Amino acid sequence: MLRSWRALLALAVLIVVVVLWAIGKGDVVMAVVLGALVLITGRTMFRSYSVTKGPTGPAVDVEERGRLLVYACETCGEQLVLLRRGTDAPPRHCSEKMVLRHVDVPDRELN
């Protein structure tokens, strides 16, 4: 049923295209085709931006004795100390994913 409905729609579109072309409105057809192409390309390129990875569970403490978990930006050098982890996805800085590093710190310097 759905297949025949789609075939009918495709046939209708084809007839409209042929009629428009026949009466000298080929530029309208080209405009619609180009518009559809731009729309499809844009949706494909920006699909990843609308898909957000949410937290996989409750946030957990990531405390390690004598060590700090540090997210570092390899572009500008900014560093963030990670205290609680809510998701495995790394934060972004300078449009790049930050890199997780384990930094050794003597216990007395943490307090």
Provide, rounded to whole angstroms, the least separation between the CB of residue 89 and Zn ion. Answer: 17
- Cα(55)–Cα(87) distance, rounded to whole angstroms? 5
**Out of 41, 56, 75, 87, the residue judged to bind Zn ion by CB under 5 A:** 75
**Interacting span for Zn ion (CB under 5 A) from 5-13, 43-51, 52-60, 74-82:** 74-82
Which residue type sits at 54?
G
- Cα(94)–Cα(87) distance, rounded to whole angstroms? 20
**Out of 76, 95, 108, 109, the residue judged to bind Zn ion by CB under 5 A:** 76
- Tokens 């579109």 correspond to 13
Beta pairing partners, 104: 67
DSSP state of 90: P
**Out of 68, 71, 73, 82, the residue judged to bind Zn ion by CB under 5 A:** 73
Residues that bind Zn ion (CB under 5 A): 73, 75-76, 78, 93-94
